[in-house]
Amino acid sequence: MRSPFRPDFPPDPAILDDHKPLIRSLERRGLIRGGLSLGALVMLTGCDVRRPEAIESALLAISRLNDGVQALLFDPKKLAPTYPDSMILRPPKFNAYYDVMDVKPVNGTAWRLEVSGLVADKRAWTVSDLQALPQTSMVIKHICVEGWSYIGGWTGVALRLFLERVGADLRAKYVAFKTADNYPSSIDMASALHPQTLLALEYGGETLADPFGFPMRLRTAVKLGYKNPKWVTAIEVTNDYPGGYWESLGFPWFAGI
Amino acid sequence: MVRGYLSAVASLLLAFVCGLLAFAGAAHAQSATPGGMPPPPGMSLAESAAVRFPQPVRVGDLLGRQVLRPVESQDVLGRVRRVVRDQNGQIMVVVNFGGFLGFGTRPIAVPADAMVLLGQDMEIVAFTPNQLQQFPTFSPSGTTDVADDTIIKVGLAKPSH
């Protein structure tokens, strides 16, 4: 049926051609610069549009604002829920940015943990050095940004204790990690000092298995799963934003839970 | 005053929503290398399981687990019903397969080496649903149940989404 609102004489489509440059500037610059309201952003991101770079950077700015708000809200004394040992999932769930067949096991004997940046003692650590430090255990939930979770039991050295031992500047902003699988990561100092942040050496009371980060990985109860690098080979204390693997692809950096 | 505060809170909340939405687009990046790939060509089931870093798991912990299809939609193929050793000594996972909403399923025996652990779930990586349709209905004769406390080794995969 013909719409009753349709005019009898539609405008000549050639008008569009005549004013093409003007219309284009309206669509692009007008909408992006003038109309960059929060509401418009919701609409734009809800649709599958090719995001111009201006939108992309605006969204990243909002993501950084979110990071800042999360950092403000973070309570360094508040503990994440813990669970009984009987609830530990054995074996844990594997995940990486590649499938398990591409895991390259790390030789624990040759492995060294490099320490750099704002620390007094830059001596490299062996596995037995770490094992000789007081060990902490925690049964916590691993929560992935993709929506899945599982309960895991981790044992290792509290990162706070480690940072104190190496004489790290605890007022520095970031603790950054490098890994054997080229998955750089970093967390804020407040989360690094949280009592539920470990340099994990064991899972479920046994040495960490190869696919889960042997010989050492980060496990923190206050961050999403992708902030827990496996096969850690280097730790740096720094004031320069170190970023991370998924963060460089647009994931939020703070990622607190 | 209160109004100003409320609107500040409201715009903060909106900012969170926007950040989340911005981030939803990026989340797809995590599927760059798909998980649960079928065995590489020319590899036996046992060989392909061996390259998936088989991990010890208690048989009793497998019972009742969901069995998924290794595709992004992670369709549920069935549930683990029991674990048996067949005439050749091969470990088979008996899966209640097919049906609709859990009704009308039939048990089929899938080699453990054709499956992977995916957290609390399992996946069948070596057979497509069409191939599984052709599997005979499981009959316990000639097989022996594997005790719940037995530890077997099963390969891993990353999530398929």
Interchain pair A63, B19: CB under 8 A: yes
Closest-CA distance of chain B to residue A173, Å: 23
**In the predicted model, is pLDDT for residue B22 greater than 90?**
no
**In the predicted model, is pLDDT for residue A176 greater than 80?**
yes
Structural tokens at position B59? 């048989």
- Mean pLDDT over each residue of chain B, to the nearest integer: 85
Q: Which amino acid appears at position A22 of this protein?
A: L
Say how far apart CA A209 and CA B46 lie, in whole Å: 20
Closest residue on chain B to A69 (Cα): B12
By DSSP bridging, strand A114-117 and strand A232-238 are parallel
**In the predicted model, is pLDDT for residue A39 greater than 70?**
no
Answer yes or no: are the C-beta atoms of A196 and A138 closer than 8 Å. yes
**How large is the ipTM?**
0.80
- With pLDDT > 70 as the criterion, what percentage of chain A qualifies? 88
> Which residues of chain A have a CB within 8 Å of the CB of B120?
89, 93, 150
Interchain pair A62, B18: CB under 8 A: yes
Closest residue on chain A to B161 (Cα): A146
Q: Note which residues in 206-225 of chain A have CB less than 8 A from chain B.
A: 209-211
Local confidence band at A3 (pLDDT 50, 70, 90 cut-offs)? confident
Structural tokens at position A159? 């990162």
Nearest to A251 among B15, B23, B56 (CB): B23
> Which residues of chain A have a CB within 8 Å of the CB of B18?
38, 41-42, 45, 59, 62
Span A107-123, average pLDDT = 98
Closest residue on chain B to A46 (Cα): B21
Answer yes or no: are the C-beta atoms of A50 and A167 closer than 8 Å. no
Residue in A103, A142, A216 with CA at minimum distance from that of residue B157: A103
Say how far apart CA A184 and CA B41 lie, in whole Å: 33
Quote the pLDDT of residue A10.
72
Neighbours of A81 (CB within 10 A): 9
Nearest to B35 among A99, A246, A252 (CB): A99
Q: Which residues of A28-51 are buried (b: 16+ CB within 10 A; e: fewer)?
A: eeeebeeeeeeeebeebbeeeeeb
Residue in A250, A242, A182, A251 with CA at minimum distance from that of residue A223: A251
Q: Note which residues in 97-126 of chain A have CB less than 8 A from chain B.
A: 97-103
**In the predicted model, is pLDDT for residue A107 greater than 80?**
yes
**In the predicted model, is pLDDT for residue A29 greater than 60?**
no
State the distance between the two ends of chain B, measured CA to CA, in whole angstroms.
47
Say how far apart CA B45 and CA A71 lie, in whole Å: 48
Residue in A142, A246, A144, A100 with CA at minimum distance from that of residue A185: A246
Span A155-161, average pLDDT = 98
Quote the pLDDT of residue A194.
98
Structural tokens at position B152? 């077997």
Answer yes or no: are the C-beta atoms of B107 and B92 closer than 8 Å. no
Structural tokens at position B36? 């649960």
> Which residues of chain B have a CB within 8 Å of the CB of A94?
53, 117-118, 156-158
Local confidence band at A4 (pLDDT 50, 70, 90 cut-offs)? confident
Closest residue on chain A to B158 (Cα): A95
**In the predicted model, is pLDDT for residue A33 greater than 80?**
no
Say how far apart CA A175 and CA A190 lie, in whole Å: 10
- The residues facing A200 across adjacent strands are A156, A217
Quote the pLDDT of residue B68.
96
Q: How many CB pairs under 8 A join A and B?
A: 120
Interchain pair B19, A246: CB under 8 A: no
Interchain pair B156, A211: CB under 8 A: yes
Say how far apart CA A190 and CA A220 lie, in whole Å: 12
Q: Decide: helix, strand or coil at residue B34.
A: coil
Closest-CA distance of chain A to residue B153, Å: 10
Q: Note which residues in 64-83 of chain A have CB less than 8 A from chain B.
A: 65-66, 69
Say how far apart CA B37 and CA B135 lie, in whole Å: 21
| Domains identified in chain A and CATH numbers | 76-249 (3.90.420.10)
**In the predicted model, is pLDDT for residue A96 greater than 60?**
yes
Say how far apart CA A178 and CA A183 lie, in whole Å: 7
**In the predicted model, is pLDDT for residue A126 greater than 70?**
yes
- Residue A215, preceding peptide bond in cis (omega within 30° of 0): yes
**In the predicted model, is pLDDT for residue A256 greater than 80?**
yes
